[in-house]
Structure 1
């Protein structure tokens, strides 16, 4: 049996359910109308439409549950509201698609457009408005805009828009007023005025008729103003000319008046005036007691009597100074050549044309040639050499002419001082050498003399036929060492300083851009010449080498890149040569004297304290290689090694880096020079030692020597097997060890470094050495430094350990999983910003992907439309061609039948 009851679960058809939902929401039916009063229904609410849209959207979502996506949670938590549990992907996708069609699609279509005018006039984009309505609406908006601007204007004028002429409204003007034809409100019998008759009927024909006043035009007014201004200007110039003429007349008469005042005798005061003057003087004295201005008056007189300072020239630039020095040298060279040819100097020719100048001393003639003629001519005529002294100034002042004025004398003296001081700068700059330390010279005398040299001693006496060649003032910049030796041919060894200085002045970097390349080449020549002097000249000219080293330093500052290339090339050649000698065992492999001088110049020119230097680091590595790999075969090798240790000491004087090769070499020297029975086969310390080679000192006490002389260049040769030289080597080794001990005094590893040396020194002090060898002093210094740098062993901390702080746990009453409880507010804000940035970034990327997909769909759609259009066109053409072809074939068949 079937029951007639309706099913409770079925809600009827979709239409019935929709009507029921609309009625329950109050959208349709009597319930919606009854809920409002007549007044409200008639007036309407402002939010009525919005509320209706919300209700309809809600009903639409409930009516189609497939459009709503629900994300169910695993557990339900009371009081917790989660966002994003429900969503409508279809609706959001549709809204995004529509927005992209409004914005992105329009941009795609207008992408390749150029130019265009955007019409922003009101109503232009509204197709429902007629042209009359558009004009009316535009006029209304314009009036509203003008009235809005004059809302707070106090001048209540009815006429907002009116035409003007010269600032006056045309509405208030009448064209008939000028002619006297103005209309009047009252007609007085309609009679003509007297003015009308006189002007229009019978007037205007007389020549002498007086002109009536009329308004002038703007052009006439401006002409009148210009004429008046010119008239006033001419009057002022005339008055100024009169005043100037009067002033000149008064100036002409002033001298006569002054002469009269000066020659007028002083009249004695009358007796009555004398008493009056005394009275006033006594009053002045009383007033001066109150206020004493004597100091002020004296200071005022001093200021008035002081001479005004003379204006000085501006400070010259380096380029100007170099150019002046070059010009002076060229002028001196021309004067030297003229003297050589027997002609007058250029200075004398120029001085003949100058007036009011001091007379110069005449140059000696042929009969006045003395022994010192060359020196006088070089110092006095060319003003080069000694400079201006106090005696020269006094003698020069006494030889001036009496007819000259004081101002001319002062100018002459100043000019002479400038010439003398400038020339003094040229010649005297040779002595201005940067000091590389007083110890350098002693070290060079002591250790720099270790090597084989050619004995070329300078002859102290010269024959009468040999004459010293005069030094020219200009030279060609030498490009090789042979050319430089050609320039120095016939000159003394000390003259190389003057020649070098003049070459530097002539080819200064600031004078010509090409001089930089010339000085770069000349730098290599100077380095070769320093090595040449050190290896060929005996005794070694220390002063000359120091000054040449100073010139090398100055040129290196001007061309640093070229200097680095020169010295690195020298180091490369030295390394190759030393490697060949060590490989084939051809004699001594130690660097010779030339190489030692180059290594010493590197330490003077470049900064060797840098951790990495393009020149200093390779030089230091080369020295360490030589000290560790080269074998000591003779006393000469030991002397060269001592010089290398001195160079390393100069390199590391600032940075104080530990270099074990130098100390190992010094320890090895002490072992080799000590007698064989000193260590009895048990050599203390840990340092490399070659095959047993002993150069023992037989006479350690040196009974025949009062003092031990340091090792010098001229004392070293291939045969040095004597006790005197060996004692010098022992003394030099001990001195080097003292220097390194002071250098490494602050090193934490001092005890480990010098502990082995202390054992060696203790064995050597047991022997009877010469009194100059102070091994005991070195032993005391080592012991003192080791005791001072004694290390304390590591221990555990003495204080009680600090317990870990214990804190009670912090509980939150209203704890939430979604909330961060960070005590640092700034950090929490930072995390919050980071999460927001991350969220926005993900959203932006998602939108960009959707935009790309939309653009791809639109491009595909556009491409599809184009392809369809193209295919349609091709099909039409093919259809036409096929029809024509069929017709042609049909005609052919008909012709064939006939």
Structure 2
């Protein structure tokens, strides 16, 4: 059949008699249109046409050979196209989803757990107790009256209760034999033989019994309380008599006084701490090994901190620089504890109070030791906070009045009490920075920098005190000596020499390069060019650093610092450039014979040797060996199939196969989940729409009924009104 798909569809519909002229009488009665006699077959014909023209439902089974098989009583070739029925499959899926949705809805809020609700189960009662309680519950439930009421109807009789009453000659045996009561009530009249008690009589007896037992319990309780009160009143007298007997000793004892004392000592030994074996005394070799191991551990920690590893522990190298060992320090502490009783020492809260107390004591070392012994943290709560404040005060005092013994004590105290000290030093930095901007340093500022290098580990890469101090000292070296030599002040030269010495002390272990040090030494040599004379002195006091007078000792100190600096940075190749700038200046001083000529000659020889050994290598890019591009011959497959794996690794083939299968199943599962969610959403929406429709229908019916009633009443009212007129 030629033509488009639409024309084919129209021709098919017309041939089946579904479109076109259908009211004409067909000559052939056998081929009647569905509209005439086969109206029930119309849907079947349409379904056949749909399945015929829907090419997406067609599936072709391709085989290599034509094979004819019998299917449904007909010969069918394998490889022919087969038609699927999506409507049937969709209806089957929707039916299953509907069943699952209804089941889930019916089981919502329920569980399949069996709960045993029988009375007495899972309560730890025995079989007889459970049976008894069940019997009582059954009797209570079978009773017609309220089980919480103590009154009963006098007219009603309970035959079941009468069956469980014991009597003799018409009298109950429960009162006299079981309870033996002696009630202060009116005697009950004797019952006639065969007479049964009513419920009212039984309840009265029960209430009477309850009141009697309650009264007995209260009576016993009052007697007990009276006896307790009597004993409490007599306890003090008994206690005093017992104390006298104990004080006077045993009244009836044939033991001697020595035996009594022996027994008392034996009883006292029970509370003494048992002796434990002491540690073995270590030999001298073991002590040295332990000491060396501790020094090695401390040095490892310092090296880690110097490289920037922040998790390294420790912050002090007193033991490394040859201070006293743990054994020596503990022995000294014991000696201090064995001293005479401590005198009462007032704790200074400010620097002024500390200074005044030292003037009174006249011996600062003794006064500080008294404070340390008096305010030990283990003696009283709050002493640790006091000692933290005292260390900050002592640091401030030492910067004003340096003393070697006080500095040693300050170093030892800063190991344990440094919380307040760190905060104080950070605040002191800000004040020093202000004075650096005004170029008006004080003696205490120079002492401050030196003390920080003694107290803290100056080789750390990250430190709250050392790193800011280095920045401040480099600022001093950069600003105090100007490029114009006519504006230089010699007191600044002496202060810069002290700062250079301190910086080199800071970098003695880490050996970090400080370019300000090299530049400042060159400036100082140029500033000292006008100084003449020879001298071997290079030691400068703090007072000399603040005097505006050129001195030969400045030149000698410069020689010493150049020697230290060259030895510290000899591994740096940049030192060669510094030596080239320094040698002409040193040659002039050598020609003029200024300062310590022997020291100058030694420095010049050392610099010449270092300059000869240092080799400058220019910066170049890192050289790499040329690597050839890998060339591989491609592999071709005959009859390549994209869906087939050509990997030679069997394990990899299995992995890829499982991965593809997992991906496919995941995709199908997600598709099913989406379908299920969409179906449940539609079902819930349909239920809500149905519920709303029912509600509105119900409300409309109610409104209509109300309107009808109102209309009828209104009509009746109008009729009655017209009738009365």
TM-score (norm 1): 0.44
| Corresponding residue for residue 862 of structure 1 | 687
Give the Cα separation in 2 of the matches to 1:865 and 1:885.
30
Q: How far 1:717 moved relative to its partner?
A: 4.6
Kindly provide the CA deviation profile for residues 712-764 of structure 1, in whole angstroms up to 9, marking residues without a partner as x.
Answer: 2254453434xxxx221112122222222222222343334443234433444
Contact map agreement 2:59 2:83 (CA 8 A) in 1 = yes
In 2 relative to 1, CA 420–819 (structure 1 residues): closer, same or farther, beyond 3 Å? closer
Kindly provide the CA deviation profile for residues 682-711 of structure 1, in whole angstroms up to 9, marking residues without a partner as x.
Answer: xxxxxxxxxxxxxx2133xx2xx5x32411
Q: How far 1:665 moved relative to its partner?
A: 1.2
Within-5 A mapping of 1:104-503: 106-107=103-104, 110-111=107-108, 113=109, 117=113, 311=276, 423-426=334-337, 473-492=343-362, 495-503=363-371
Give the Cα separation in 1 of the matches to 2:666 and 2:619.
56
Within-5 A mapping of 1:674-713: 674=529, 696-699=530-533, 702=534, 705=535, 707-713=536-542
- Aligned mate of 2:557, from 732, 753, 769: 732
| Corresponding residue for residue 467 of structure 2 | 617
| Corresponding residue for residue 670 of structure 1 | 525
Within-5 A mapping of 1:773-788: 774-788=599-613
Q: How far 1:858 moved relative to its partner?
A: 2.9
Contact map agreement 2:573 2:614 (CA 8 A) in 1 = yes
Structure 2 residue 707 is matched with structure 1 residue 882:
yes
Contact map agreement 2:51 2:83 (CA 8 A) in 1 = no
TM-score (norm 2): 0.53
Contact map agreement 2:538 2:557 (CA 8 A) in 1 = no
| Corresponding residue for residue 720 of structure 1 | 549
Give the Cα separation in 2 of the matches to 1:623 and 1:86.
94
SS of residue paired to 2:441: coil
Q: How far 1:790 moved relative to its partner?
A: 0.6
In 2 relative to 1, CA 829–422 (structure 1 residues): closer, same or farther, beyond 3 Å? same
Contact map agreement 1:590 1:626 (CA 8 A) in 2 = no
Runs of 5+ consecutive residues of structure 2 not aligned to the other structure: 1-7, 17-46, 66-81, 117-274, 281-329, 483-487
Q: How far 1:893 moved relative to its partner?
A: 0.7
Q: How far 1:672 moved relative to its partner?
A: 0.8
SS of residue paired to 1:488: helix
Give the Cα separation in 2 of the matches to 1:823 and 1:501.
85
Contact map agreement 1:568 1:615 (CA 8 A) in 2 = yes
SS of residue paired to 1:614: coil
Deviates most, 709-718 or 91-100: 91-100
In 2 relative to 1, CA 63–808 (structure 1 residues): closer, same or farther, beyond 3 Å? closer
Within-5 A mapping of 1:66-85: 66=54, 68-69=56-57
Contact map agreement 1:68 1:86 (CA 8 A) in 2 = no
SS of residue paired to 1:547: helix
Q: How far 1:568 moved relative to its partner?
A: 0.8
Contact map agreement 1:524 1:566 (CA 8 A) in 2 = yes
In 2 relative to 1, CA 552–816 (structure 1 residues): closer, same or farther, beyond 3 Å? same
- Aligned mate of 1:652, from 507, 516, 519: 507
Give the Cα separation in 1 of the matches to 2:408 and 2:497.
20
Give the Cα separation in 1 of the matches to 2:629 and 2:619.
25
| Corresponding residue for residue 594 of structure 2 | 769
In 2 relative to 1, CA 766–489 (structure 1 residues): closer, same or farther, beyond 3 Å? closer
Give the Cα separation in 1 of the matches to 2:505 and 2:456.
12
| Corresponding residue for residue 554 of structure 1 | 416
| Corresponding residue for residue 407 of structure 2 | 545
Deviates most, 826-835 or 515-524: 826-835
Give the Cα separation in 2 of the matches to 1:782 and 1:810.
69
Contact map agreement 2:556 2:596 (CA 8 A) in 1 = no
Give the Cα separation in 1 of the matches to 2:652 and 2:528.
73
Give the Cα separation in 2 of the matches to 1:785 and 1:640.
29
Q: How far 1:636 moved relative to its partner?
A: 2.4
Give the Cα separation in 2 of the matches to 1:799 and 1:860.
71
Give the Cα separation in 1 of the matches to 2:495 and 2:503.
13
SS of residue paired to 1:720: coil
Give the Cα separation in 2 of the matches to 1:577 and 1:884.
103
Greater relative CO, 1 or 2 (CA 8 Å, sep 6+): 1
Structure 2 residue 388 is matched with structure 1 residue 517:
no
Give the Cα separation in 1 of the matches to 2:424 and 2:632.
72
Contact map agreement 1:599 1:619 (CA 8 A) in 2 = yes
Give the Cα separation in 1 of the matches to 2:593 and 2:382.
65
- Aligned mate of 1:604, from 433, 444, 454: 454
Contact map agreement 1:67 1:89 (CA 8 A) in 2 = no
In 2 relative to 1, CA 760–77 (structure 1 residues): closer, same or farther, beyond 3 Å? farther
Give the Cα separation in 2 of the matches to 1:87 and 1:658.
86
Deviates most, 737-746 or 661-670: 737-746
Give the Cα separation in 1 of the matches to 2:348 and 2:377.
16
In 2 relative to 1, CA 565–746 (structure 1 residues): closer, same or farther, beyond 3 Å? same
Kindly provide the CA deviation profile for residues 292-342 of structure 1, in whole angstroms up to 9, marking residues without a partner as x.
Answer: xxxxxxxxxxxxxxxxxx955699xxxxxxxxxxxxxxxxxxxxxxxxxxx
Kindly provide the CA deviation profile for residues 616-637 of structure 1, in whole angstroms up to 9, marking residues without a partner as x.
Answer: 2222211112221234643322
Kindly provide the CA deviation profile for residues 780-806 of structure 1, in whole angstroms up to 9, marking residues without a partner as x.
Answer: 333333333313568999999676565
In 2 relative to 1, CA 833–513 (structure 1 residues): closer, same or farther, beyond 3 Å? farther
Contact map agreement 2:365 2:406 (CA 8 A) in 1 = yes
| Corresponding residue for residue 595 of structure 1 | 445
| Corresponding residue for residue 615 of structure 2 | 790
Contact map agreement 1:708 1:772 (CA 8 A) in 2 = no
Give the Cα separation in 1 of the matches to 2:49 and 2:374.
99
Q: How far 1:570 moved relative to its partner?
A: 1.0
In 2 relative to 1, CA 523–118 (structure 1 residues): closer, same or farther, beyond 3 Å? same
Q: How far 1:897 moved relative to its partner?
A: 0.8
In 2 relative to 1, CA 656–68 (structure 1 residues): closer, same or farther, beyond 3 Å? same
Q: How far 1:576 moved relative to its partner?
A: 2.7
Deviates most, 871-880 or 827-836: 827-836
SS of residue paired to 1:489: helix
Contact map agreement 2:590 2:597 (CA 8 A) in 1 = no
Give the Cα separation in 1 of the matches to 2:515 and 2:527.
18
| Corresponding residue for residue 572 of structure 1 | 430
Contact map agreement 1:553 1:604 (CA 8 A) in 2 = no
| Corresponding residue for residue 580 of structure 2 | 755
| Corresponding residue for residue 431 of structure 1 | none
Give the Cα separation in 2 of the matches to 1:591 and 1:70.
100
In 2 relative to 1, CA 806–114 (structure 1 residues): closer, same or farther, beyond 3 Å? closer
Q: How far 1:896 moved relative to its partner?
A: 1.1
Q: CA RMSD in A?
A: 4.7
Give the Cα separation in 2 of the matches to 1:670 and 1:874.
110
Give the Cα separation in 2 of the matches to 1:500 and 1:649.
32
